[in-house]
């Protein structure tokens, strides 16, 4: 047992330097004043100080801070939400404007209590951001909306610049890791986005360190490509609390570099892979093409 604990001690490359400068504290203060939630805080993202303090980027989490699902890897609160705040989209847009963002990620808790899974609020948030900051590109990261494609159409009608939905893990581990979600439903959702909007880039992410085999990771890559996914991110799973799934092993940075090389060779347009990579990590760097395209459309 002692040997196993020693093996699973967090390695040096996962230790981060905190940067709580005025950019970080100022952004945190504004989030509280606007009564906004970020997945950066709720999910205990290890990159929060880099993104908030250095890059001035953030991933807004709409539809409240209580999720109707209880995924075994996620630190977001679980329960039954009691409210739907239709003023939230405008508050998010105002914050984006005040921060001077050029790219923003909008995600949400899963709202299985809502008929459309929150798609209408997603759409209004996109439109509110566009009204205030026309050149800002918007990436969305919704739940699977229980596979309801009418809800997906509602969201896609607002024309997000990137559609992101995570399969989270390999097929074999999905039931153990995710709650009320299936591997195939997530793949079908990503495929359907391309059918609705062929030119919208799609993106998905997996965590490693949960007990998957390398061959299963490669199969997940093939599955995503078979469903026309353009961008993939791969990061190390970190146990947020003792109540969540334990880390089976930590991948070395060289292993992430190899996985990135494999993904790009297989045909992904872009891949981020590393110990601290998360779905929204350096998202601003992944959308240069989308940003240029949007600016040209608005200048025509």
DSSP string, 218-275: HHHHHHHHHTT--EEEEEE----STTSPPP--PPPHHHHHHHHHHHHHHT-SEEEEET
- Edge-first strand listing for the sheet containing 162-164: 37-38, 59-62, 103-108, 137-141, 162-164, 202-208, 231-236, 270-274
Q: Give me the pLDDT at residue 136, please.
A: 87
- Write down all domains in the chain, each with its CATH number in brackets: 18-299 (3.20.20.70)
By the 8 A CB rule, do 59 and 47 touch? Answer: no
Measured N-to-C along each axis, helices 88-99 and 22-33 cross at an angle, to the nearest 10 degrees, of: 160
- pLDDT score recorded for residue 276: 87
CA distance 73 to 236: 12
The two most distant CA atoms of the chain are separated, in Å, by 65
Predicted local confidence at residue 119, as pLDDT? 96
How many C-beta atoms surround the C-beta of residue 178 within 10 A? 22
230 touches 269 (CB < 8 A):
yes
Pair of tokens at residue 213? 């085999």
Low-confidence ranges of the chain (pLDDT < 50): 1-7, 42-43, 290
- Planar angle of CA 44, 122, 297, nearest 5 degrees: 110
Complete DSSP assignment for 46-65: TTHHIIIIII---EEEES-S
Q: Report how far residue 239's alpha carbon sits from residue 59's, in angstroms, rounded to the nearest whole number.
A: 20
Altogether, the residues listed in the chain come to a count of: 300
284 near 57, Cβ under 8 Å? yes
Q: What are phi and psi of 259, to 5 degrees?
A: -65, -40
67 is in an annotated binding site: yes
Instruction: Say if residue 136 carries a ligand binding annotation.
Output: no
Kindly state the tokens that stand for 209. Answer: 């360190």
Residue 28: per-residue pLDDT: 64
To the question of whether residue 51 is assigned a binding role by annotation, the answer is: yes
Model confidence pLDDT, tens digit, residues 122-147: 999 999 999 999 988 899 999 999 99
> How many whole angstroms from its chain centre is CA 65?
15
CA–CA dist 164, 131 (Å, integer): 22
Query: What pLDDT, on a 0 to 100 scale, did the predictor assign at position 141?
Result: 94
Angle at 38 between CA 295 and CA 169, to 5 degrees: 90
What pLDDT was estimated at residue 218?
98
What's the start-to-end Cα distance of the chain, in Å? 65
pLDDT at 177: 93
71 is in an annotated binding site: yes
């Amino acid at each position: 047992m002692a040997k196993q604990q020693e093996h699973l001690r967090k390695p040096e490359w996962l230790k981060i330097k905190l940067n709580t400068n005025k950019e970080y504290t100022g952004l945190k203060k504004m989030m509280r004043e606007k009564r906004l939630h970020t997945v950066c805080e709720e999910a205990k993202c290890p990159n929060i100080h880099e993104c908030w303090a250095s890059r001035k980027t953030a991933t807004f989490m709409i539809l409240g801070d209580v999720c109707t699902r209880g995924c075994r890897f996620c630190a977001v609160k679980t329960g039954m939400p009691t409210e739907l705040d239709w003023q939230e989209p405008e508050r998010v847009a105002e914050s984006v404007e005040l921060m001077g963002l050029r790219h923003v990620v909008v995600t949400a808790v899963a709202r299985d209590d809502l008929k459309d899974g929150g798609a209408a609020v997603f759409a209004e948030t996109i439109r509110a951001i566009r009204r205030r900051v026309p050149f800002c590109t918007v990436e969305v990261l919704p739940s699977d909306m229980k596979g309801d494609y009418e809800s997906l159409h509602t969201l896609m009608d607002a024309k997000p610049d990137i559609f992101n939905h995570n399969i989270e893990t390999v097929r074999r581990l999905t039931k153990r890791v995710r709650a009320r979600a299936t591997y195939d439903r997530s793949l079908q959702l990503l495929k359907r986005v391309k059918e609705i909007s062929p030119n919208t880039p799609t993106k998905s992410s997996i965590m490693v360190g949960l007990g998957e085999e390398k061959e299963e990771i490669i199969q997940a890559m093939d599955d995503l490509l078979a469903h026309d996914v353009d961008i993939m991110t791969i990061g190390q799973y970190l146990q947020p609390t003792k109540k969540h799934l334990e880390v089976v092993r930590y991948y070395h940075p060289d292993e992430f570099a190899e996985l990135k090389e494999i993904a790009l060779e297989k045909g992904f347009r872009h891949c981020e892979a590393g110990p601290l990579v998360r779905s929204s990590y350096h998202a601003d760097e992944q959308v240069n093409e989308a940003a240029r395209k949007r600016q040209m459309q608005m200048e025509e």
